[in-house]
Amino acid sequence: MRLDIYRRAERGGLFSYLAVPEGKRIPEEATNTDWETEARGIVFNDDENELPHFSIENPVQQINAKGYAITSSKITGDAYRSVR
């Protein structure tokens, strides 16, 4: 699968990431935030359980369920607490 990756700024200089299948639009429920393009056409093996560089867990399951995969709020929260 090929993915387009977007990012948005969070507190503490961190970023959340959103992955959608290449060429697809960001689903409407996720467009209420200003996402910036991070990368286009990232090759992702469907057998993998995460996109570690973007802190996205279970991307295939998330995409199948809602059309996109997003960084876990637990990850950004943990990372934020660790840099404070």
29-82 confidence digits (pLDDT tens): 777 668 999 999 999 998 888 998 899 999 999 999 999 999 977 655 444 333
pLDDT at 6 over 90: yes
Phi, psi dihedrals of residue 65, rounded to the nearest 5°: -80, -40
Per DSSP, the residues of the chain read -EEEEEEEE-GGG-EEEEEEETTPPPPGGGTTS--EEEEEEEE--TT-SEEGGGTEESHHHHHHHHS-EE--HHHHHHHHHHH-
Instruction: Report the pLDDT value the prediction gives residue 43, as an integer from 0 to 100.
Output: 94
pLDDT at 20 over 80: yes
